[in-house]
Amino acid sequence: MGIVIRKATAADAPQILAFIRALAIFERAPDAVTATEEGLVRDGFGPNPFYYCLIAELDGRPAGFAFYFFNYSTWVGRPGIYVEDLFVHPEFRSLGIGKALLREVAAVALKMGCQRMQWEVLDWNTPAIDFYRAMGAEFLDEWRNVRISGDALERLAQGTGAQGEAPVLQNGPDGAAS
């Protein structure tokens, strides 16, 4: 039967969550996952999905996944794809599954007119770094990842952070007139 890469369906939510949890264990953050099957179904399989997911199977067994979404480059003036997660179970590594998953995401990117794919890799994950480098990936070491979440996100949205009050929006956050 070999390697099969297919689009995930809502029925795959339990398997997607299992992959996410396995990835979190591998990345040394097993308690960081708060995602739920219900949330995955809600956010990935409605009329306007926030993400897309590919499932890799080897001989009918779930082997790995690629979880991605679209972004947009203002400099290039074109869409791109951000790969949030790429994971292959350890017993299925070195069989071409990770490359097959990335190849399929790349095909989606080209089909949708995207000019690039981006993702992150932990600095200690040398096997993945070597794998990406061998495929021709470019490492953007001069860029820093920035994240705001939790209470800090709430404070920023409410304008109650250390920098003073937020300006009044003339339009709503989606750009539409209020």
- What one-character DSSP code corresponds to residue 160? -
36 sits in the region (left: phi over 0; alpha: psi -120 to 50; else beta) called beta
Class for the domain spanning 3-157 = alpha beta
Read off φ and ψ for residue 78, nearest 5 degrees: -145, 160
Question: How are the residues of the chain apportioned to helix, strand and coil, as percentages rounded to the nearest 5?
Answer: 35, 25, 45
**Active site (catalytic) residues:** 132
Give pLDDT tens digits for 140-154: 999 999 999 999 999
Under the banding of pLDDT at 50, 70 and 90, the label for residue 160 is confident
Q: What is the pTM of this model?
A: 0.87
Check pLDDT > 80 for residue 162: no
* Residue 80 near residue 109, CB atoms below 8 Å: yes
What is the pLDDT, as a whole number, of residue 170? 64
Q: What DSSP string describes 2-28?
A: -EEEEE--GGGHHHHHHHHHHHHHHTT
What is the pLDDT, as a whole number, of residue 167? 57
Check pLDDT > 70 for residue 31: yes
What is the pLDDT, as a whole number, of residue 169? 58
Residue type, 83: V
Average pLDDT score over residue span 104-129: 96
Q: What DSSP string describes 127-146?
A: HHHHHHHHTTPPP-TT----
Domain positions in the chain are: 3-157
What is the pLDDT, as a whole number, of residue 94? 94
Give pLDDT tens digits for 56-110: 999 999 999 999 999 999 999 999 999 999 999 999 999 999 999 999 999 999 9
Average pLDDT value over all residues in the chain: 92
